Amino acid sequence: MNLNLKGKSVLVTGGGSNIGRAIVLAFAEEGANITIGDIDTAQAARVADLALAKGAAGAQVIKTDVTDFEQVKAMFAAAVDKFGTVDVLVNNVGWDKLMFFTETTPEFWQKIIQINYVGALNCTRAALDIMIPQNSGAIVAISSDASRQGESREAVYGGVKAAVNSFMKTIAKENGRYGIRCNIVCPGVTVPESGDEVGGASMWSDPAGMFTPEQFDKIAKALPLKKIGRPSDIANAVVFLASGAAGHITGQVLSVSGGYSMIG
Ligand SMILES: NC(=O)c1ccc[n+]([C@@H]2O[C@H](COP(=O)([O-])OP(=O)(O)OC[C@H]3O[C@@H](n4cnc5c(N)ncnc54)[C@H](O)[C@@H]3O)[C@@H](O)[C@H]2O)c1
């Protein structure tokens, strides 16, 4: 199967840590040029070096807070400057802290909305300005199975990720005429293999703060595939959806979660 990603310009937000890191490395193995937009440039630079070692045609890090539209536009300009265009956008940045809704505050809701939703709006808007004139492009958003199922302690995050799904479907409908495809990947619990794979700003810098070892065990046992997801599981699906092999797929929501959700 020819994924046709060699030499393509791929922009991954939040590419320094965990899932974003694995996505960068998977595109690197396909010989893509990669721009990582992240607030944690030290961690992202380590990933960029690894990407070059794994076969990326090029790699750069642009310090970007995706909630700031001016910074996002500058990140896309840097990608065009170095690699000629942007063929693929992966809207990967996301953030949550597990809490019951009754424990949360309006400030917390705004933070979730800004990072998970406004960040995706900013990046998608900047990407379309490049992709529409060239009549091609692929966008993949990293959502969450919390958007499809509802999940305790993820009320605001799950709702916002459902908004991401709906937004991306509309973008798929509006821009299919320009050869632009948009799809959504919903991870379940996806845990780094080691501490090296996450940055200081990561939700997983303290895995025990997310789930106790007993909870991890229970989660794995409850899944049909009986194992917790790893970042590469998500990256494989993202690379496929961004590639020429998925040329007739758009507006789809794909769960990569060991069977946690089964929606038909
Ligand atoms: N890991 C999971 O279990 C899981 C489950 C479902 C969905 N997801 C989703 O997958 C995506 C990646 O999750 P992860 O576990 O790899 O997260 P992570 O916290 O490990 O990494 C997030 C990355 O984004 C960067 N970042 C954070 N805020 C930023 C901002 N405002 N601007 C630019 N960069 C910023 C961080 O520095 C970090 O490199 C997110 O959208 C998340 O919601 C993760």
**Closest residue (by CA) to atom 23 of ligand 1?**
14
**For tokens 């929501």, what's the residue?**
253
**Residue 59 pLDDT level (bands cut at 50, 70, 90):** very high
- Is residue 143 within 8 Å of residue 185, measured between CB atoms? yes
Residue 37: give the domain boundaries: 9-256
**Residue 56 maps to a domain:** yes
User: Atom 19 (ligand 1): residue with closest C-alpha?
Assistant: 202
pLDDT number for residue 250: 98
Strand pairing category for 180-187 and 137-142: parallel
Domain membership flag for residue 151: yes
CATH of the domain at 149: 3.40.50.720
Q: What is the pTM of this model?
A: 0.98
The chain-wide mean pLDDT, for the chain, equals 97
Please report, rounded to a whole number, the percentage of residues in the chain having pLDDT higher than 70: 100
Q: Is the pLDDT of residue 207 over 90?
A: no
Residue 222: alpha-carbon gap to chain centroid: 25
On whether the CB atoms of residues 84 and 58 are closer than 8 A, the answer is no
In-domain check, residue 27: yes
CA of 177 to the centre of ligand 1 (A): 31
Which residues share a beta bridge with 254? 185
Residue 264 lies in a domain: no
20 Cβ inside 6 Å of ligand 1: yes
pLDDT-derived band of residue 2, with 50, 70 and 90 as boundaries?
Answer: confident
Ligand 1 pocket check for 67: Cβ under 6 Å: yes
What is residue 177's predicted lDDT score, i.e. its pLDDT?
98
3 assigned to some structural domain: no
72 assigned to some structural domain: yes
Q: What is the pLDDT of residue 264?
A: 84
Residue with the larger pLDDT of the pair 207 and 10? 10
Atom of ligand 1 lying closest to residue 210 CA:
3
The verdict on residue 262 lying in a domain is no
Indicate whether residue 139 lines ligand 1 (CB < 6 A).
no
Given this model, what pLDDT does residue 208 score?
80
Q: What pLDDT digit, counting tens, does each position of 159-200 carry? A: 999 999 999 999 999 999 999 999 999 999 999 999 999 999
Cβ(181)–Cβ(245) below 8 Å = no
Residue 90 lies in a domain: yes
Task: Report the separation in Å between the CA atom of 118 and the middle of ligand 1, taken as the mean of its atom positions.
Answer: 14
Summarize the confidence of residues 103-126 as an average pLDDT: 98
Give the model's confidence band at 205: pLDDT under 50 very low, under 70 low, under 90 confident, else very high.
confident
Alpha-carbon distance 219 to 223, whole Å?
7
In the chain, the number of structural domains is 1
